[in-house]
């Protein structure tokens, strides 16, 4: 049996030595300045015009979708919505740096990654309207997307639970010999959950090819980051777990892309986790159930609006001559029209038949679920007017 020496890497000191967080500097990678001008010494990622335009247009689409669906929730057409305004670069540009076989496990504010993978407007709508075409069969709240074909794991509400799950998923990919990694998104608030600690430690110890991608947007609902942690953000924790770590400007699509690209290469080549902390700002309300005017100032929001990730990449595209401002305006108008048309069409699709209520609890419904369904159907048929969504299709 091998002898262990857990002191082997420890150096000696002969005075009390206090290590302060100020001693370790974790800089933030920024390639484009807020106005879209590249830093002189920054290296632009190798992306051709089509590739950058795909990132840009996906961000644009998500902004349009978010605006439209927040309005739809206000009108009472859907029960809930959660926008990603201001954070589009974090999800879209990171997804752009992945391969289609990589698994995405997200928190809930990463609709950009799903759109980048090709999730259609109709598919977004089906989920949000909980109709019979929703892959979740109408069981989960709006924005809890999932798509097996796109390698996008179905979202769940409990925060941070996907973090150790991503470690396990990545371990399975490694064992199956797949040239693939798992990316796991979460906010800085979720990083306070025990599952963050569990997931990162396990990934490091068990050599899992997983990218932990933290969106540090300054707030967890009303709780500002300074009431969430006292250390140097989330990035500083990665080092404590022995995890390679990068901090990026989350509003700079090029920085997010470059960091994720490199993280993927490291994770795959070295079978190890990489932590990315993307610094951003949640310009949106937490959700349609939240009003941020109760806990932050308009001035603060305005300062961050000036750092808008879409504007920033748009300015760079304009400077390259890769984007026509007038055409861009028309494109956005068309996106708005398409989203609205799809919304009007999809909101008329009925919900699943009542039989679906007991499916997928198990692989096949056991006796007690079948009995409960039979009783329920009998009850609905007795009071059809009280259950209009399902009584016509018993």
Partner 1 sequence: MAKMNLLQAINNALILAMTENEKVMVFGEDVGHFGGVFRATSNLQEKFGKARCFNTPLTEQGIMGFANGLASQGSVPVAEIQFGDYIFPAFDQIVNETAKWRYRSGGQFSVGTLTIRTPYGGGIAGGLYHSQSPEAYFAHTPGLKIVVPRNPYQAKGLLLASIRDDNPVLFMEPKRLYRASVGEVPEEDYELPLGKADIVREGSDISLLAWGAQMEIMEKAAELADKAGISCEIIDLRSILPWDVETVCQSVVKTGRLLISHEAPQTGGFASEIAATVQERCFLNLESPIARVCGLDTPYPLAHEKEYMPDHLKVFEAIKRTVNY
Q: Which residues are the active-site residues?
A: 282, 286, 295
Q: Could you say which residues in the range 206-235 bind partner 1, by CB under 8 A?
A: 206
Q: Is 163 in the site for partner 1 (CB under 8 A)?
A: yes
Task: Tell me if 355 contacts partner 1 by CB under 8 A.
Answer: no
Which tokens sit at 294? 């109760």
Interface residue with partner 1 among 7, 10, 40, 176 (CB under 8 A) is 176
Q: Which of 34, 359, 391, 394 binds partner 1 (CB under 8 A)?
A: 359
Binders of partner 1 among residues 108 to 147 (CB under 8 A) are 134-137, 139-140, 144, 146-147
Query: 279 forms bridges with which residues in the sheet?
Result: 216, 249
Q: Is 361 in the site for partner 1 (CB under 8 A)?
A: yes
Contact mark string toward partner 1, 56..95, x via CB under 8 A: ----------------------------------------
Q: Which strand (E) or helix (H) includes residue 49? A: helix 49-74
At its nearest, how many Å lie between partner 1 and the CB of residue 356? Answer: 9
Burial string for 85-115 (b: 16+ CB within 10 Å, else e) reads bbbbbbbbbbbbbbeeebbbbbbbbbbbbbb
Distances (CA, A) of 234 to 119, 159, 205, 251, 297: 30, 16, 19, 17, 24
Backbone angles phi and psi of 105, in degrees to 5: -120, 120
**Contact status: 195 vs partner 1 (CB under 8 A):** yes
Taking the C-alpha atoms of residue 304 and residue 86, their distance in angstroms, rounded to an integer, is 8
Using alpha carbons, select from 64, 69, 60 the residue that is nearest to residue 89: 60
| DSSP bridge pairs for 220 | 223
Q: Report in angstroms how near the CB of residue 218 gets to partner 1 at its nearest.
A: 26
Binding site for partner 1 (CB under 8 A): 103, 105, 134-137, 139-140, 144, 146-148, 153-154, 156, 158, 161, 163-173, 175-176, 182, 194-195, 197-199, 201-202, 205-206, 359-363, 366-369
């Amino acid at each position: 049996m091998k002898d262990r020496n857990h002191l082997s890497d420890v150096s000696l000191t002969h005075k009390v030595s206090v290590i302060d967080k100020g001693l370790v500097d974790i800089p933030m990678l920024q390639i484009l300045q807020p106005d879209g001008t590249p830093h002189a010494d920054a290296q632009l990622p190798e992306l051709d015009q089509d590739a950058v335009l795909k990132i840009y247009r996906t961000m644009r689409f998500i902004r349009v979708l978010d605006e439209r669906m927040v309005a739809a929730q206000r009108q009472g057409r859907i029960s809930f919505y959660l926008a990603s305004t201001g954070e589009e670069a974090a999800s879209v540009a990171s997804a752009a740096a992945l391969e289609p076989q990589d698994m995405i496990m997200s928190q809930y504010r990463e609709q950009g990654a799903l759109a980048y993978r090709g999730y259609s407007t109709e598919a977004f709508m089906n989920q949000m309207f909980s109709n019979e075409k929703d892959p979740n069969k109408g069981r989960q709240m709006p924005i809890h997307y999932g798509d097996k074909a796109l390698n996008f794991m179905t979202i769940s509400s409990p925060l941070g639970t996907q973090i150790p799950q991503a470690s396990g998923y990545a371990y399975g990919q490694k064992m199956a010999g797949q040239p693939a990694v798992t990316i796991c998104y979460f906010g800085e608030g979720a990083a306070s959950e025990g599952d963050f600690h569990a997931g990162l430690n396990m990934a490091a110890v068990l050599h899992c090819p997983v990218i932990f991608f933290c969106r540090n947007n300054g707030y967890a609902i009303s709780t500002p980051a300074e009431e969430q942690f006292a250390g140097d953000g989330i990035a500083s924790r990665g080092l404590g777990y022995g995890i390679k770590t990068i901090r990026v400007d989350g509003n700079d699509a090029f920085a997010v892309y470059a960091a994720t690209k490199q993280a993927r290469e490291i994770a795959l080549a070295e079978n190890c986790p990489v932590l990315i902390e993307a610094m951003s700002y949640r310009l949106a309300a937490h959700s349609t159930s939240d009003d941020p005017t109760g806990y932050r100032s308009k001035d603060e929001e305005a300062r961050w609006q000036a750092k808008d990730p879409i504007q920033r990449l748009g300015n760079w595209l304009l400077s390259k001559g890769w984007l026509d401002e007038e055409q861009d305006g028309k494109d956005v108008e068309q996106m708005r029209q398409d989203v609205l048309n799809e919304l009007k069409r999809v909101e008329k699709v009925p919900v699943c038949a009542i039989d679906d209520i007991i499916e997928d609890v198990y692989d096949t419904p056991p006796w007690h679920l079948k009995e409960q369904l039979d009783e329920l159907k009998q009850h609905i048929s007795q009071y059809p007017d009280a259950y209009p969504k399902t009584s016509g299709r018993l």
